[in-house]
Amino acid sequence: MNSFYESYQACLHRWDVVLLPLTLLVCSALLAVMLWYLHARRRLCMSEEHFRNLAEASFEGIILSRNGGTICDSNERASEMSGFSRQELLERSLYCLIAPEYHTQVHRAIADGFDGPYEIEGVRADGSRYLLEVRGKTFQSGRHTMRASTLRDVTARRAKEAQLRKLSAAVEHSPASIVITNRDGAIEYVNPAFSRLTGYSMQEALGQNPRILKAGDQPEEFYRELWAVLLRGEEWRGEFHNKRKDGSLFWEMASISPILNNKGEIISFVAVKENITERKELRDRLEQMAQFDMLTGLPNRRMFLDRLSQTVAIAQRTEQRFALLFVDLDGFKRINDSYGHEAGDRVLKTVAARLAACIRMSDTVGRMGGDEFTIILSTLAHYEDAGQVADKILDALSRPITLPDGQQDTVGSSIGISVFPEDAQDGDGLLATADDAMYKVKRNGKNSYCFYHSCKPVAVVQETI
């Protein structure tokens, strides 16, 4: 008995010796496991927080749905886009956010696991609609089929794209010629109107400089001023005389504007140009009608008086003399009455051509009206020079004129000559004195000339000036 007790006591002693270290070991292990668990949980919480922050920082709406459409999570951007709070979105069907006509498309995309982008119409909490670009990814989470979807509001972008398409169509169909160049002047775009006007296709124009259109008759100063304005960042307006691909010339009214980047630097230029050839020709014709006689092409009364005024001013400044000849046809009424107005017009045109051939380039011949013509001999070295011109005119106008019906007839002329400054010191006075001298010729037998101060037909004053 004693030996059993002793053995038992010895065994207890040995167990006490082992138990304490074993207890310490178990406690240490439990502590290590607890520390690992707490560390892992903290890491998991941090990871979840990172992913949540990442989702919240996204500019796209993110929605997580399960089992075909029930929303189980979303980010703040999804709430902003839909108008529902995050709490209102939870447990709501994904299809509540989608216009009914797109439900089938979305259902098919989820069922097929389609992960490419596609567009649908979304429905906000207030019932309004907006364009959405959707992408999604389907995955399994335990027993659930999950769908992570990103939603991007593309309403504004599509509106801008539609506006750009309208602008592009407007440019393409514009009747105005439109050219876009880079900063160095190389052509980057031309519209069809440019090609129709110039004969250059877009492929031929790209990379070229607009100087391919230069007619070459506008001074370099014109282009230097143009570039100075553009490089200041200002709009330039003006007219170009240009040349088509086939060499024919045309006029354009152009408006050229620089295009600036966000830094205010010029990156390109856009030119909008209108063909004004017909308008310019019309303006020239109107100016011709306003200043020239439509029948003969000679300066009309208005223009002749303007040139007479200029000649007087120059003569006063330079102290030079000049002569004014007043020519009235003799027998013109007979031509008109006998052969008709067409024959009268033929006579007037023939007389105009012969008068122009009798004077110098520096002189001026004009038609005052009816059968009256006036001539400015811009400088006189001798009085007899005016008489020689008058003799030349009398001889030229005495030659037969072929009328429209093939017949020939003749007219005469009476010429009065007035000299500045002896006979008058202004245009009106010169016209009056030359007219007076012409009527004195008429009264003395016609078909001759005389100076106002001599009052004797065919008497030429031999006086050197």
Query: So which residues are the catalytic ones?
Result: 371
Residue with tokens 């593309």: 154
How many CA atoms, within 13 angstroms, populate the side-chain half-sphere of residue 183?
9
At residue 461, the 3 state secondary structure works out as coil
Residue 385: partners with Cβ closer than 8 Å, 6 or more residues away = 323, 377
Q: CA 332 to CA 351: how far, in whole Å? A: 11
Amino acid in position 234? E
- Sequence length of the chain is 465
Taking Cα atoms as reference points, which of 40, 93, 99, 102 lies closest to residue 71?
Answer: 93
Residue with tokens 């088509």: 244
Residue with tokens 């008429």: 442
Query: Helices 277-291 & 301-318, crossing angle to 10 degrees?
Result: 70
Long-range contacts of range 337-346, CB-CB < 8 Å, 24 or more positions apart? 338/409, 339/403, 339/404, 339/405, 339/407, 339/409, 342/404, 343/403, 343/404, 343/405, 345/295, 346/401, 346/402, 346/403, 346/404
- The DSSP annotation for 44-60 comes to HHHHHHHHHHHHHH-SS
- The DSSP annotation for 290-354 comes to HHB-TTT-SB-HHHHHHHHHHHHHHHHHHT--EEEEEEEEESHHHHHHHH-HHHHHHHHHHHHHH
* Token representation of residue 198: 């110039």
List phi, psi (to 5°) of 292: -125, 150
Terminal Cα distance for the chain, rounded: 180
* Token representation of residue 70: 């029930």
* Token representation of residue 248: 């024919």
At residue 73, the 3 state secondary structure works out as strand
